[in-house]
Amino acid sequence: MRIYADNAATTRMSDTAISVMLDCMKNIYGNPSNQFYSVGQAAKDKLEECRAQIAAVINAEPREIIFTSGGSEADNQAILSAAEYGRRRGKTHIISTAFEHHAVLHTLKKLEKSGFTITLLPVHENGVVDVCELVAAMRDDTCLVTVMTVNNEIGTIQPIAEIGAVCRERGVFFHTDAVQAVGHLPIDVKAMQTDMLSASAHKFHGPKGVGFLYVKKGAPVYPLIEGGAQERGKRAGTENIPGIAAMTAALQESVDNMDSVKARLTPIRDHIIKGLSGIPHSALNGDPVSRVCGNVNFSFEGIEGESLLILLDQKGICASSGSACTSGSLDPSHVLLAIGREHGVAHGSLRLSLGDDATMEEADHIVDSVKEIVAHLRSFSPVWRDLQTGKREYIL
Ligand SMILES: *Cc1c(COP(=O)(O)O)cnc(C)c1O
């Protein structure tokens, strides 16, 4: 049995997206900027058809969609644009949260070095932002609020429409990194009252290296990449037509299947949560209700996440962890630290992000495997021995 349960890291392309991509590569090879011949015109038509379709899915207008190389670029462009606009008006305060994706946090760090003041809101034990705390953090010189729609590690859903309403009332730009939400939750940029929204194709069964940024008409947006006049001068570079077409097909498919996937996955997710809760000294990370249907994130005391992942792989299960090595840094996940997990506990964490086609049988296999491996790892863990002999106190 092979179970790919790391869909928050990336998804497999859908067959539809692959066939659209191949078809485009073979047949729609023109440069959309050269419309004096039909090959270029066909590419331009395809591009605009995709733009209109994506706009319709999120209740935007086609001219409000800028195609990018993915979520990271969209996040960078949104934040740097709003910051630049703010700076020109003497507004240099930005509000975000402690558990954003690094594409947001590192961009904010860069701005901080160039004179901006950044407030990172706490996200509490349940992994949800408190709108009252956001209101309290707002200042006269706040130029941007950026809060993710769904957290990529613990899957918690943020009160985006409420945040949007508060920002609009005060005339502050609001960006949301919706990379984990687009294709998974209904997105309506008008209802969310967001000015900017980032999305990435490879998180909803599209190809890697392509995404989009929604920018509300009239909101500021400056190019990160200078060059040609593509994307109305907001993003230079010949458009990635096969990627954009495949992303559009994948998004449409995800949206069409959204309700049925949610109905099917929710009980499977809850079954896994219930099963893993049976492991002593373990805890679910993030709110049990306000979370996307495919996300399970657990911490187990007395083990290392990397060892768990390696042994899970031997049982055919691909998952991820909030621990050091998997993220390529020495610190445990900033998301788990942000919800108040101790360093040691954060290291012993497991993220399962289910595929749309996950089954109850697979859920049982996951639960049985994790139980067995955690018990095995604890059997020779010095930390676990200290906990058992009372030398160290249990945290969970
Ligand atoms: C994956 C991800 C990104 C980055 O998207 P890329 O297309 O890989 O650059 C940004 N934000 C969140 C929440 C993500 O999950």
CA of 71 to the centre of ligand 1 (A): 5
Q: Which atom of ligand 1 is nearest to the CA of 211?
A: 7
Q: Indicate whether residue 180 lines ligand 1 (CB < 6 A).
A: yes
For 216, the 3-state DSSP assignment is coil
The count of other CB atoms within 10 Å of the CB of residue 230 is 20
| Structure confidence at residue 129 (pLDDT) | 97
The count of other CB atoms within 10 Å of the CB of residue 94 is 27
**Sheet harboring 282-284: ordered strands across?**
282-284, 295-300, 349-353
325 among known catalytic residues? yes
| Structure confidence at residue 1 (pLDDT) | 80
| Structure confidence at residue 322 (pLDDT) | 72
Q: Indicate whether residue 72 lines ligand 1 (CB < 6 A).
A: yes
| Structure confidence at residue 330 (pLDDT) | 65
* Local structure of residue 201 (DSSP, 8 states): G
Q: Are strands 282-284 and 317-318 parallel, antiparallel or unpaired?
A: unpaired
| Structure confidence at residue 317 (pLDDT) | 98
Q: Indicate whether residue 211 lines ligand 1 (CB < 6 A).
A: yes
Q: Ligand 1: which of 179, 184, 198, 251 to mutate, judged by most atoms within 8 Å of the beta carbon?
A: 179
In the structure encoding, which two tokens stand for residue 277, read together?
Answer: 């809760």
| Structure confidence at residue 388 (pLDDT) | 95
| Structure confidence at residue 8 (pLDDT) | 96
Give the total residue count for the chain. Answer: 396
Local mean pLDDT, 10-residue blocks, the chain (396 residues): 94 98 97 92 97 98 98 98 98 98 97 98 97 98 98 98 98 98 98 98 98 97 96 96 98 98 97 98 96 97 95 97 62 93 93 97 98 97 95 95
Q: Indicate whether residue 249 lines ligand 1 (CB < 6 A).
A: no
Cα 33 vs. chain centroid, distance in angstroms?
A: 32
